[in-house]
């Protein structure tokens, strides 16, 4: 296996270097082929670096950036005025070929805007998408996209999302002929708006995509499909609604536990179970969300993530580099376009 | 209180007359001002009618219709070929002024199409909306619309939905100056598509609507707003995703309960609690969803509803008649249009 370099934004997220640096050390320990470029203020990195052992020092480069993007900064402000930020540097390194991919736990909106600006989309792809794994009822997983990169998607963008999701499920998720579905308000052919109907028609005519038709919101968790495609508006609403509902359920269980001793016992067992579902509901907290469709690999870890969650995101980026996801997406979209014309 | 007549589609839903007729009897028993026109096959109704006591017989009229709309029938087919159906008759009676409102547990798509065709929208309203109450984290409630009547809504339709939701929350929900919010992918002003931004601008300029800004999917359950407005696509996806997630949680608890005796005890207590949340998540099963914006009152009970749930839907229709919801919506939209121009 060849040497694999990831750039990390060590200032991103609510806890910045406190959770990211330990995750980096764990990742280097478990994968001897991995190298990092750590982007952040040199004075902070130097002190930490000097305490590491030689094997770790040999596989780390430091890239000094004195700015950082705050969690509540607007994408436009970050794009314009944070050219020396750790987030921007990480993307610049990928663009210049000095890193094979990058991981950040920072401001999602800023990351989307910067990544799109710096890396640009692959040929044949109009817009990048944010994609992540959701849990399903039988302990399985489903790829859901777009989770909020683009609130307005025409049928061509939705079609491209279907192709990209299918590639990720196949090459990273190791699913043979992944079943691809469109999220809709009903499963009948006449359901939905023109945009979705057009996408459905195009997908049905594309033999290299295993398109299975429409699924409804409740099917997200049903394992009917391996990849579910929707626009960034509906995807974000679905994800956040479920997050809100899980909080509601946790709250109800807590309330019930105050009613009597039996319920108190119940809550002790039920709450960890529910919290676990809550974490899985919050997918970038669990295993990172990927920004796909770009000429480079960008993985987003949750702003509030633990070291373990950031380590998951590093592993995801590593897999995407190894499997050459951008090249595979480019090849697939070319093949699909050839088939269409 | 004056005499109040509702038309009921006794053939709608998975169980038709078996749950609807008992609900009708309960409703007549609890409300002495209530009268029904029962729409369905006369041979079925006659047999049942003759077994009722005189007080009930006096307050019931039978309307013979030999067709019924099936649960999987397409809206277009129902509209074209089911003119003698119980669903269509019930709407015709409202249109002709022979009933003050109507209730059906039948095919939602067919009901939407027929109601729109027969009753037409109120002056100033472009499209009807499906609205229902959702539970919130502190035991409160929030009105969510549109739940699937219109998948494509321009900013004018969204604006009208905000007005209609506000009226329903005020006159039926008894909330003074209901807080109205738009569902979006973020709370910042620059978030969302042009449609939503335009609606937000219009609402902010309308003093007679208590518009509070954007809320995200997780806020549906947070009690931040009394009325949350979105298009029928996102509303349906939010609702169904939550339904699917609740099933997932119930399943996880069941699985855990098979692991050891303590979890078995836990499941005995947790499952009824979760089932209750599931019912509340499935709002038309709980208390009916209303189709508003039409020149008549139409309440939809869930296809799979119990007699109790159908009784809730009858109560909801009764309240809307008493509070003259269509007139109030008409007045409010007129006032708002006056303010705008």
Query: How many C-beta neighbours within 10 Å does residue A55 have?
Result: 10
**Which chain A residue has its CA at the smallest distance from B282's CA?**
A218
Query: Superfamily assignment of B135-283 in CATH?
Result: Isopropylmalate Dehydrogenase (3.40.718.10)
Question: Tokens for A223?
Answer: 């394992």
Q: What does the alpha-carbon distance between residue A198 and residue A158 come to, in Å, rounded to a whole number?
A: 10
Mean pLDDT of A42-68: 94
Kindly report which listed range (A88-102, B209-223, B244-258, B295-309) carries the lowest average pLDDT score. Answer: B244-258
Q: What confidence category does residue B135 fall into, taking pLDDT thresholds of 50, 70 and 90? A: confident
Q: What confidence category does residue A280 fall into, taking pLDDT thresholds of 50, 70 and 90? A: low
Q: What is the mean pLDDT of chain A?
A: 91
Q: What does the alpha-carbon distance between residue B197 and residue B290 come to, in Å, rounded to a whole number?
A: 27
Q: What is the DSSP string of B17-84?
A: HHHHHHHHHHHHHH-TTEEEEEEE-HHHHHHHHTTS-HHHHHTEEEEE--B---TT--HHHHHHH-TT
Give residue B131's pLDDT.
Answer: 95
Question: Phi-psi bin for B120: left (phi > 0), alpha (psi -120 to 50), beta?
Answer: left
Give residue B189's pLDDT.
Answer: 84
Q: What confidence category does residue B281 fall into, taking pLDDT thresholds of 50, 70 and 90? A: low
Give residue B279's pLDDT.
Answer: 66
**Which chain A residue has its CA at the smallest distance from B244's CA?**
A218
Give residue B181's pLDDT.
Answer: 98
Q: Which residues touch A245 (CB under 8 Å, ≥6 apart)?
A: B220, B221, B242, B245, B246, B281
**Which chain B residue has its CA at the smallest distance from A250's CA?**
B137
Of B237, B249, B277, the CB nearest to A237: B237
Q: What is the mean pLDDT of chain B?
A: 91
Give residue B137's pLDDT.
Answer: 81
Residue A245 forms contact with B (CB below 8 Å) = yes
Tell me: the pLDDT tens digits for B57-115? Answer: 999 999 999 999 998 898 999 999 999 999 999 999 999 999 999 999 999 999 999 99
Mean pLDDT of A331-336: 94
Q: Which residues touch B258 (CB under 8 Å, ≥6 apart)?
A: B264
Phi–psi pair at B304, nearest 5 degrees: -100, 15
Residue B271 forms contact with A (CB below 8 Å) = no
Tell me: the pLDDT tens digits for A11-49? Answer: 998 899 999 999 999 999 999 999 999 999 999 999 999
Give residue B280's pLDDT.
Answer: 64
Size of the A and B interface in Cβ pairs below 8 Å = 155
Report the SS3 class of residue B295: coil
Q: Which residues of B touch A249 (CB under 8 A)?
A: 246, 249, 274, 277
Burial category of B138 from C-beta neighbours within 10 Å (exposed 0-12, middle 13-18, buried 19 and up): exposed
Q: How far is CA A44 from each of CA A39, A40, A47, A52, B84, rounded to the nearest angstrom?
A: 11, 8, 6, 14, 78
- Rounded to two decimals, the pTM is 0.90
Look up the CATH number of domain A1-125+293-323: 3.40.718.10
Give residue B288's pLDDT.
Answer: 79
Query: How many C-beta neighbours within 10 Å does residue A112 have?
Result: 21
**Strand bridging mode A60-64 / A289-292:** unpaired
Mean pLDDT of A70-88: 94
Model confidence at B285: pLDDT above 60: no
Model confidence at A251: pLDDT above 70: yes
Of B151, B234, B273, the CB nearest to A233: B234
Mean pLDDT of A99-111: 95
Tell me: the pLDDT tens digits for A234-245? Answer: 999 999 998 888
List chain B domain ranges.
1-125+293-323, 135-283
Give residue B188's pLDDT.
Answer: 84
User: Are the C-beta atoms of residues A104 and A93 closer than 8 Å to each other?
Assistant: no
User: Distance from A338 to chain B by nearest Cα, in Å?
Assistant: 32
Give residue A341's pLDDT.
Answer: 73
Give residue B160's pLDDT.
Answer: 97
Give residue B306's pLDDT.
Answer: 85
Q: What confidence category does residue A282 fall into, taking pLDDT thresholds of 50, 70 and 90? A: low
Model confidence at A180: pLDDT above 90: yes
Tell me: the pLDDT tens digits for A119-134? Answer: 999 999 999 999 998 8
Query: How many C-beta neighbours within 10 Å does residue B268 have?
Result: 12
Mean pLDDT of A180-192: 90
Q: What does the alpha-carbon distance between residue B300 and residue B296 come to, in Å, rounded to a whole number?
A: 13
Cis peptide before B214 (omega within 30 of 0): no
Model confidence at B284: pLDDT above 60: no
- Asked whether the beta carbons of residue B252 and residue A216 sit closer than 8 angstroms, the reply is no
Cis peptide before B146 (omega within 30 of 0): yes
Residue A323 forms contact with B (CB below 8 Å) = no
Q: Judge whether B1-125+293-323 and B135-283 match in fold.
A: yes
Q: A13-29: string of b/e by CB count within 10 Å (b at 16+)?
A: beebbebbbebbbbbbe
Residue B110 forms contact with A (CB below 8 Å) = no
Q: What does the alpha-carbon distance between residue B324 and residue B326 come to, in Å, rounded to a whole number?
A: 6
Give residue B275's pLDDT.
Answer: 73
Q: B205-243: string of b/e by CB count within 10 Å (b at 16+)?
A: ebeebbbbbbbbbbbbbbbbbbbbbbbbbbbbbbbbbbb
Q: What confidence category does residue B245 fall into, taking pLDDT thresholds of 50, 70 and 90? A: confident
Residue B265 forms contact with A (CB below 8 Å) = yes
Q: What does the alpha-carbon distance between residue B199 and residue B332 come to, in Å, rounded to a whole number?
A: 17
Kindly report which listed range (A58-72, A83-97, B104-118, B236-250) carries the lowest average pLDDT score. Answer: B236-250
Calculate what percentage of chain A has a pLDDT beyond 90.
72
Mean pLDDT of B225-241: 95
Mean pLDDT of B253-258: 75
- Asked whether the beta carbons of residue B247 and residue A137 sit closer than 8 angstroms, the reply is yes
Reference A20, options A106, A89, A101; nearest CA is: A106
Helices A261-281 and A232-257, axial angle in degrees (round to 10): 160
């Amino acid at each position: 296996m060849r040497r694999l370099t990831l750039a990390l934004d060590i200032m991103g997220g609510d806890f910045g270097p406190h959770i990211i640096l330990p995750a980096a050390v764990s990742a280097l320990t478990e994968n001897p082929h991995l190298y990092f470029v750590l982007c952040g203020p040199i004075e902070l990195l130097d002190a930490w670096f000097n305490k590491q052992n030689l094997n770790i020092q040999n596989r780390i480069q430091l890239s000094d950036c004195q700015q950082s993007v705050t969690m509540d900064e607007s994408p436009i402000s970050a794009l314009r005025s944070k050219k020396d930020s750790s987030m921007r540097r990480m993307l610049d390194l990928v663009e210049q070929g000095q890193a094979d991919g990058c991981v950040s736990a920072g401001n999602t909106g800023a990351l989307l805007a910067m990544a799109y600006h710096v890396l640009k989309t692959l040929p044949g792809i109009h817009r990048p998408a944010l994609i992540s794994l959701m849990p399903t009822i039988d302990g399985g997983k489903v790829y859901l996209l777009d989770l909020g990169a683009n609130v307005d998607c025409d049928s061509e963008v939705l079609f491209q999302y279907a192709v990209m999701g299918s590639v990720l499920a196949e090459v990273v998720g190791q699913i043979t002929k992944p079943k691809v579905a469109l999220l809709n308000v009903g499963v009948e052919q006449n359901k939905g708006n023109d945009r979705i109907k057009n996408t459905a028609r195009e997908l049905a005519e594309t033999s290299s995509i295993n398109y299975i038709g429409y699924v409804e919101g409740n099917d997200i968790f049903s394992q009917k499909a391996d990849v579910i495609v929707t626009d960034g508006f509906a995807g974000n609403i679905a994800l956040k609604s479920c997050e809100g509902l899980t909080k509601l359920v946790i709250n109800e269980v807590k309330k019930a536990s105050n009613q009597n001793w039996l319920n108190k016992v119940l809550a002790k067992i039920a709450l960890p179970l529910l919290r676990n579902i809550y974490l899985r509901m919050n997918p970038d907290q669990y295993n990172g969300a990927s920004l796909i469709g770009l000429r480079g690999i960008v993985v987003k870890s949750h702003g509030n993530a633990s070291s373990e969650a950031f380590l998951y995101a590093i592993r995801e980026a590593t897999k995407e580099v190894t499997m050459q996801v951008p090249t595979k997406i480019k090849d697939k979209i070319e093949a699909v376009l050839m088939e269409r014309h």
